[in-house]
Amino acid sequence: MKDKVIIITGGSSGIGRACALAFGRAGAKVVISARNTQKLQEVGEELAAAGVPYLAVTGDVSVEADCVKLIEETVSRFGRIDVMLNNAGISMRALFQDVDLQVIRQLMDINFWGTVYCTKYALPHLLKSKGSVIGVSSIAGYQGLPGRTGYSASKFAMQGFLGALRTETLHQGLHVMIACPGFTTSNIRNTALAADGSQQGESPRDEAKMMTSEEVAHLILEGTRKRKRELVMTGQGKLTVFLSKWLPGLTDKLVYNHMKKEADSPFK
């Protein structure tokens, strides 16, 4: 990673922040982007304290012009792009029959279109550097999760897009990786949208029993170095992906029962 230039969306907290520090300590020049300027500056201060060359660009990945600005400012500052880490994302928790469709549109705009926009404008530079496009996805991109129809749809779409791009650029040296953490201690559940679009405000899960963002960042860094195709990070996740291919009916029942155990589950 020495002197490689990495762009990380959703870089102000959670997995994005952890990846910024991990890649930076590995020698990369780091560009972080998020909507919250204050939190972005705080991560920037951490990078500066660690001696990492960085650039912080405030922006919303669901806005195409912001993604164009992110790429242009990166190239203006560092002259190249080696890794486009599409990490920005938002979740939801509501039954489809109850959810406002604007919630699903918002998830698609951020999780799917944010990946498309950033990858589109970074691609010429990544082809030149034979770099990496990474999408931080989820087991929800392999197996539909009840109560998270919009989230699953956005992750299936992201994975389909990146898979097609991988094949399309098969002979151009581009590395495409789909990274699927397990449940991770980040604020994605706290900021998840409810049926009416309001933030959930608290996690329905025991955060202490989850992977840390730092563990996820380490695995993403190693996967990038080794130019892996897919990165499913937990035993439970690997089992779910395997079963969904070979025993889909059983997997539906297991996933339903697992999600039913959440605090305040709508399936009780």
**pLDDT at residue 187 in the model:** 59
Integer angstrom CA distances of residue 194 from 21, 96, 99, 107: 31, 11, 8, 12
Instruction: Tell me the CA end-to-end span of the chain in Å, nearest whole number.
Output: 48
- Domain borders along the chain are 5-237
**CB-based burial label for 4 (10 Å; 0-12, 13-18, 19+):** buried
**121: β partners:** none
Do residues 49 and 25 touch, judged by C-beta distance below 8 A?
no
CATH C-level class of 5-237: alpha beta
Q: How far apart are CA 212 and CA 185, in angstroms?
A: 5
What does DSSP assign to residue 103?
H
Tokens of 85: 């880490």
- The predicted pLDDT at position 210 comes to 74
Task: Write out the catalytic residue numbers.
Answer: 151
Give the pLDDT score at 63. Answer: 98
d(CA 88, CA 68): 16
* Extended beta strands in 126-205, E state: 132-136, 175-180, 184-185
Q: How far apart are CA 39 and CA 41, in angstroms?
A: 5
Query: In angstroms, rounded to a whole number, what is the distance separating the alpha carbons of residues 107 and 152?
Result: 10
Per-residue pLDDT of the chain (268 residues; tens, 9 = 90+): 999 999 999 999 999 999 999 999 999 999 999 999 999 999 999 999 999 999 999 999 999 999 999 999 999 999 999 999 999 999 999 999 999 999 999 999 999 999 999 999 999 999 999 999 999 999 999 999 999 999 999 999 999 999 999 999 999 999 999 999 987 665 555 678 888 888 866 655 555 567 899 999 999 999 999 999 999 998 888 999 999 999 999 999 999 998 888 877 777 6
What's residue 203's pLDDT? 52
